[in-house]
């Protein structure tokens, strides 16, 4: 795929409508997905940090049998 094909693909998907090759074809507007609230983002990131910290300080149980 050359550069012009990539640009064409990018531009074809940059609008919010589904288009057809037929003239005067109906267009459907895509519904936007609701985003996460700042509180949900903070909770998720905090949980990730705490899990990584717990995995980092967890003793290695491999080979202790």
Read off the pLDDT of residues 7-55 as tens digits, 9 standing for 90 and up. Answer: 676 666 555 455 556 777 777 777 888 898 999 999 999 999 999 999 9
Cα–Cα distance for residue pair 42/22, rounded to 1 Å = 46
Cα–Cα distance for residue pair 19/37, rounded to 1 Å = 31
Contact yes or no for 51/39 (Cβ under 8 A): no
Ramachandran area for residue 26 (φ above 0: left; ψ -120 to 50: alpha; else beta):
beta
The model's pTM? 0.42
């Amino acid at each position: 795929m050359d550069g012009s094909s990539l640009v064409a693909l990018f531009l074809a998907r940059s609008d919010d409508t589904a288009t057809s090759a037929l003239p005067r074809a109906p267009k459907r507007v895509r519904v936007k997905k609701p985003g996460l609230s700042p509180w949900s983002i903070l909770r998720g990131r905090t949980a990730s940090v705490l899990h990584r910290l717990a995995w980092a300080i967890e003793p290695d149980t491999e080979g202790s049998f």
